[in-house]
Amino acid sequence: MDILSPSLEDYLEEIYRFSLHNDVVRVSDIASCLDVTMPSVNSAIRKLSEKEYLIYKKYRELVLTEKGRRLGKFLVERNTILQNFLRAINSQCDKGAEAEAMEHYLSLPTIRAIEDLLDFLDKNRDCQMKFMRHCRYRKQMGLGLVNGYSDK
């Protein structure tokens, strides 16, 4: 199995996400979505096309292959699962940025285990409510990890 680098994964993820809502995907669309320069997009696009995840057509149009769509769908779903997880555990972080960091480092078994947990919570709303009450209680009591970087 040819595993893509985190950076190439992000390009493919964004191209797939963009393709869900737009008929045509252009290199410039992806550059603005990811806020990167055209040369770095071009280099990523070339690598993705060499690996047969997409076809680079005229007028700078990108078309995902079957293989590219399959992986793109996985990458978008993986990101969604992690954002839902951060929501479910009531994390006060920037969920988009944190999911972005986690997705490249967690193994597939861990992400599937998280998915099981989310499904369980979804089907057991009472557990979810109990957990949220517990979070509020701990917060009120000032319980939790003390930040060793802060002297406050």
Residue 114 contacts residue 122 (beta carbons within 8 Å)? no
13 binds Ca ion (CB under 5 A): yes
Stretch that binds Ca ion, among 11-19, 23-31, 82-90, 139-147 (CB under 5 A): 11-19
Name the residue nearer to Ca ion (CB basis): 83 or 128.
83
30 binds Ca ion (CB under 5 A): no
CA gap 149, 152 in Å, rounded: 9
Stretch that binds Ca ion, among 9-17, 42-50, 56-64, 129-137 (CB under 5 A): 9-17
10 binds Ca ion (CB under 5 A): yes
Give least dist CB 76 to Ca ion, A: 9
Contacts of the segment 102-109: beta carbons below 8 A, 24+ positions apart: 103/9, 103/75, 103/78, 103/79, 104/6, 104/9, 106/82
CA gap 115, 110 in Å, rounded: 9
Residue 64 contacts residue 19 (beta carbons within 8 Å)? yes
- Which x/- pattern over 32-61 shows residues binding Ca ion (rule: CB under 5 A)? ------------------------------
Name the residue nearer to Ca ion (CB basis): 10 or 29.
10
29 binds Ca ion (CB under 5 A): no
| DSSP 8-class letter at 71 | H
Enumerate binding residues for Ca ion (CB under 5 A). Answer: 10, 13
